[in-house]
Amino acid sequence: MFGLNMDDKVKKHLFIISFLLLLGSYGFGQSDMSKAMIDMDSRLTTYEIIKTDTTFSESGKMKKVRYYNPINKIRKTILYYENGTIKEIFNVNEKHQLDGILLEIYENGKIKHYGIYNNGVGFSYDYYEDGRIKIYSQSKDTYTIGYKATFCSEGELYSETFYDSTGYSFTGYHCNGNLRVKGRNETDYINKVGKWEYWNKEAVLIKTEHWEKGKLIKEEEIELK
């Protein structure tokens, strides 16, 4: 997994999040975790707020609040459900890059998505509504270098993607843990290159493909005995 060059502020954020996750493993519910993260976000808002802009729904309930920093650019946005609970919080810097906490919450109070970013670089988790992990992603360089993992609803690893400056390597798994597909994409991340392999749920190789610059050169279906 790729490492991040983190400053002290991000390291502090990571420590707090790790502590919250540890509490979660001992029964500290996701609803409590989301409340703790909302509180942490408010404590980490250190820039001066000189303007707020509030939007209301047709029923008169608060729908969106935007906070502006001294140079009059949006720094924080908070979205609300109709029942008044927080739906989403995200922070950006002057370059409109994610910077700080990103938090999405299901209407039942459980965490849907959270991330910690520093000038567009960081990590994030997505969760199924029952609290199981759905996606983990980590970036080392904004939008170009990083790692992403997706998970089956049962908790098993479903895919891994390693991003670099020219493309990405992809490995997919069946939900029973066996290999499903393996290969690489390059050139703006859309063209398959080299050898791609596919397996069935019993871990038996069933097909191979050979690609050059996004064009399928050779395909071989493997007959099962």
Question: 136 - beta bridge partners?
Answer: 125, 149
Q: What is the pTM of this model?
A: 0.74
User: Quick one: average pLDDT of 48-56?
Assistant: 81
The residue ranking higher by pLDDT, 136 or 28, is: 136
Q: What percent of the chain has pLDDT over 70?
A: 79
Top mean pLDDT of 39-48, 60-69, 88-97, 200-209 is at: 200-209
Whole-angstrom CA distances from 174 to 17, 179, 207, 208 are 30, 6, 15, 17
Asked whether the predicted pLDDT for residue 125 surpasses 80, the reply is yes
How far apart CA 28 and CA 118 sit, in angstroms, is: 27
Q: pLDDT, tens digit, for every residue of 108-120?
A: 888 899 888 888 8
Average pLDDT score, the chain: 81
How far apart CA 38 and CA 32 sit, in angstroms, is: 10
Q: pLDDT, tens digit, for every residue of 138-160?
A: 887 765 678 999 999 888 999 99
Q: Give the number of C-alpha atoms closer than 13 A to the C-alpha of residue 42, restricted to the C-beta side.
A: 7
